[in-house]
Chain A
Amino acid sequence: QVQLVESGGGVVQPGGSLRLSCAASGFSFSSYGMHWVRQAPGKGLEWVAVISYDGANKYYEDSVKGRFTISRDNSKNTLYLQMNSLRAEDTAVYYCAKGRDGHNYAFDYWGQGTLVTVSS
Chain B
Amino acid sequence: EIVLTQSPGTLSLSPGERASLSCRASQSVSSSYLAWYQQKPGQAPRLLIYGASSRATGIPDRFSGSGSGTDFTLTISRLEPEDFGVYYCQQYGSSPMYTFGQGTKLEIK
Question: A residues touching B (Cβ–Cβ < 8 Å)?
Answer: 35, 37, 44-47, 50, 59, 61, 95, 100, 103-113
Contacts and interface: CB of A to CB of B under 8 A. Distances in A.
B46 A110 contact: yes
A106 B45 contact: no
Interface in B80-105: 88, 90, 92, 95-103
B63 interface: no
Contacts of A35: 98
**Looking at chain A's contact residues, is the secondary structure mostly helix, strand, loop, or mixed?**
strand
Given A100-B47, A112-B44, A113-B44, A105 B100 contact: no
Given A95-B44, A110-B46, A113-B44, A105 B97 contact: no
Interface residues of B, number: 26
A106 B30 CA distance: 13
Given A44-B102, A45-B100, A105 B44 contact: no
B88 A45 contact: yes
Contact of A105 (B32, B45, B46, B102): B32
10 contacts: A44-B88, A45-B37, A45-B45, A47-B97, A50-B98, A95-B45, A100-B47, A105-B35, A110-B46, A112-B43
Nearest to B32: A105
